[in-house]
Amino acid sequence: MTETADELSTPLGQKAERRKRRFRLPFTAMQALAVLLGLFLTAFLTVALFVDNPLGGEPIARVVLRKPAGDDKQLAASGHTEQAAKGPSQQAPAGDNKTVTIIDGSSGKRQDVVIGSDTADKAGPDSAPATPMAGIDQRLLEKSRYGMIPAVADGLKPFTVYAADADRTKAAKMPVVAIVIGGLGVGAAKTADAIMKLPPAVTLAFTPYGADPAKLAERARAQRHEILLQVPMEPFDYPDNDPGPQTLLTTLTAEQNIDRLYWHLSRFQGYAGIANFMGARFTATDTVMQPIIREAAKRGLGYLDDGSSPRSAAPSLTAAQSVPFAKADFTIDAVPTSAEIDRTLVKLETLAKERGLAVGVASALPVSIERIAAWIKTLESRGIMLVPLTTAMLKSKSG
């Protein structure tokens, strides 16, 4: 309407100057920003959901290994990785192993890693060679979907191979006491105290949890302790009282519980037997316990019942399967005070003299380790021998 009015009011022979129109986008700047963000999020989700990269987001270092051209030279990579080159007399031929020294930039700790040319060619980016524990008999290992688990081979059993040294002839002739410290592997400090402050004849039981139970178990064996694996089992107040992941449950099938057992068995190696961790309900249920004891027999392991359940089916089941067995007579630190621990140790000593054999279990509380260590020093003078649990099991079986 305005344009028509302008034309009518314009003098004849003159053209009205048209007003220039401003170009406008069909969307605002905020809308454009929203679209861009939406495209970015879509691309990110597509990569996260459909691209198979298990190391996504992890820092990756690539080290190029070259054969040194000179006599004694070093090749450095990234300021934190170096390869020590060998002299002419030690020069490794092509195809042989190469040694890479990895230096921690924060602590300065050096670690030599041997890389074989065949392994480097065949191994994928995520592969790493398994490092077996010291003293582990590779024949007594069997592969499972979770890792290596114990096995019987060439007539050898983990129970006999990993049993601690003891004078069994002497033990057969005098009263003996076996002490088992359990709950290890979760707290590195308390585990180290048990390993270093208690004599080798004390058996140490590790839970399957913790950041690196294999490393702590290896340290225990290096100090000549025999070790056990504690298997979490269902207590009566489960799930209010939950032993931890992969707990064996009465509501699962035998196959499901065996699968969970394999997960526990694979956490570390070198143990002579297994023990229940909690499990008052599970151990009292014959139908669910039987497959577990059968598996222990199949894999050449002993079994320790911690004595917490008077209705445990373990004694009869282990006897039927000829599994080396022991049941704890006392929980030494059920009341964790010095006075009560000392009283329980006296009871353990008295039972050993009456029956010839007694087994006590305890946790790695500082007070427990202190009192048990002091008591052990007086045992020999009173005619009682401290023995590893495997020796007590064998004496009980022969008796």
Sheet bearing 74-77, strands edge to edge:
74-77, 81-84, 98-103, 110-115
In this predicted structure, what is the pLDDT of residue 37? 79
Of 102-106, 263-267, 284-288, 349-353, give the lowest mean pLDDT range.
102-106
pTM value is 0.68
In this predicted structure, what is the pLDDT of residue 47? 56
Average pLDDT score over the chain: 80
* pLDDT tens readout for residues 158-177: 999 999 999 999 999 999 99
pLDDT grade, residue 28 (50/70/90)? Answer: confident
Which has the closest alpha carbon to 367: 397, 395, 399, 345? Answer: 345
Please give the helix or strand (H or E) that residue 81 lies within, else none: strand 81-84
**pLDDT beyond 60 at 306:** yes
* pLDDT tens readout for residues 174-200: 999 999 999 999 989 999 999 999 999
Q: If you average pLDDT over residues 321-342, what whole number do you get?
A: 97
pLDDT grade, residue 44 (50/70/90)? Answer: low
**Domains in the chain, ordered, with CATH?**
74-122 (no CATH), 140-398 (3.20.20.370)
15 against 253, higher pLDDT: 253
* pLDDT tens readout for residues 11-23: 555 555 555 555 5
Report the DSSP beta bridge partners of residue 305.
327
In this predicted structure, what is the pLDDT of residue 132? 42
Whether the CB-CB separation of 202 and 225 falls below 8 Å is answered with: yes
Report the DSSP beta bridge partners of residue 99.
114
Please give the helix or strand (H or E) that residue 278 lies within, else none: strand 273-278
Q: Secondary structure of 193-215 in the HEC alphabet?
A: HHHHHCCCCCEEEECCCCCCHHH
